[in-house]
Amino acid sequence: MLLNNHKYKQFLNSFLPGGALLLSFAHVQNANSSGVGAINYGKTAVGSRYIFGGSNWDPSNRSYGGTDCAGLVLKSWKWPVEIPYKSSLQSSYVVNGKSVPGKLWTGHMLLTSKYNLPWTNSKDYGSASKGDAFTYNNGSQGHTFLYLSDSNGVASTLEAKGRAYGVGYFSRTFAKLKASNYFLQKKKGSLSGNQSDSSIRVGNRERNENSSTSPRENRPTEPRVQKKFHILRRGETLATLAKQYKVPKSHLEKLNKKKVDKGLKVGMILQVS
């Protein structure tokens, strides 16, 4: 008989020294269409290179581009919008009139309340479903990957594991995930629901999803002033951002005074307009 009740496993563990199990359990996931869709998208990257900060690949050409762990998970989750395999996640987007960060680092992925991210964090590994993510960040390094299934305390994963491995299928024990303080991240419904909005702004560029149709009737006549943000990457400075976004460096210093005073670090989210 196959048992998969997480609470029942915890009950048995309370009577066994060291938490050892006398019986073998297999977790049967409750995969939803969103999770399956995430895996179907993510597996197109299998065989591609791992590139820190990357988030693009070509299913027919493995030497093209490359992605890191967060790039793989976020694009598979269609965060914040669905984009083609060969396109890279931008630092920020404007979706439904609101500015949202695009490419997140693992530390940001865990700050769901601060950045109003549509997924949850928990340590209830037994509730993992296909397409969920496991994420950790200890302040100096982090990692995230997509969950496929598990059996006998070993999870099957889809991840961009590192330069020596690239993107592929791997396995990890729940015991090691717990020891590394990984959080299970579950999506709240469909993360891509916002892409139905006809106007999605990427940095200073606007993409019209319904370019062949007439403009929306109720679009405001006065342009909105939108805040734009940029996630600082390795090698970037206020001077390079000023050139990229065509604004004075002094303007960026004013917008981000507190962060500039403390010292800029890779992964910081800076306001650029």
3-state secondary structure of 179: helix
Distances from the Cα of 169 to the Cα of 19, 210, 213, angstroms = 28, 37, 42
Tens digit of each residue's pLDDT (9 = 90 or more) over 173-222: 999 999 999 999 998 864 433 333 333 344 434 333 333 333 333 333 33
| Nearest in space to 109 (alpha carbons), one of 58, 82, 146 | 146
What does the pLDDT read at residue 178? 96
pLDDT in tens, 241-261: 888 888 889 889 988 888 898
User: 86-90, 158-162, 253-257: which range is least confident on average?
Assistant: 253-257
Do 77 and 144 meet the contact criterion of CB atoms below 8 Å apart? Answer: no
What is the average per-residue pLDDT within 148-167? Answer: 95
Nearest one of 51, 42, 52, 131 to 85, comparing CA atoms: 42
Is pLDDT at 138 greater than 80 in this prediction?
yes
More reliable by pLDDT, 26 or 106:
106
Q: Is 214 exposed, middle or buried (0-12, 13-18, 19+ CB in 10 A)?
A: exposed
Percent of all residues in the chain with a pLDDT value above 90, rounded to a whole number: 48
Length of the chain: 273
For the segment 38-61, what is each residue's pLDDT rounded down to a tens digit?
999 999 999 999 999 999 999 999
The domains located in the chain, with CATH, are 24-203 (3.90.1720), 228-273 (3.10.350.10)
- Dihedral-angle region of residue 148 (phi above 0 means left; psi in -120 to 50 means alpha; beta otherwise): alpha
Q: What is the pLDDT of residues 57-79, one digit of tens each?
A: 999 999 999 999 999 999 999 99
Q: Report the alpha-carbon distance of residue 180 to residue 232 in Å, rounded.
A: 26
Where does the pLDDT of residue 3 fall: very low under 50, low under 70, confident under 90, or very high at 90 and above? very low
* Contact assessment for residue 200 and residue 94, using Cβ atoms and an 8 Å cutoff: yes
Give me the pLDDT at residue 226, please.
55
Strongest mean pLDDT among 157-171, 209-223, 232-246: 157-171
Q: Give the pLDDT band (50/70/90) at residue 117.
A: very high
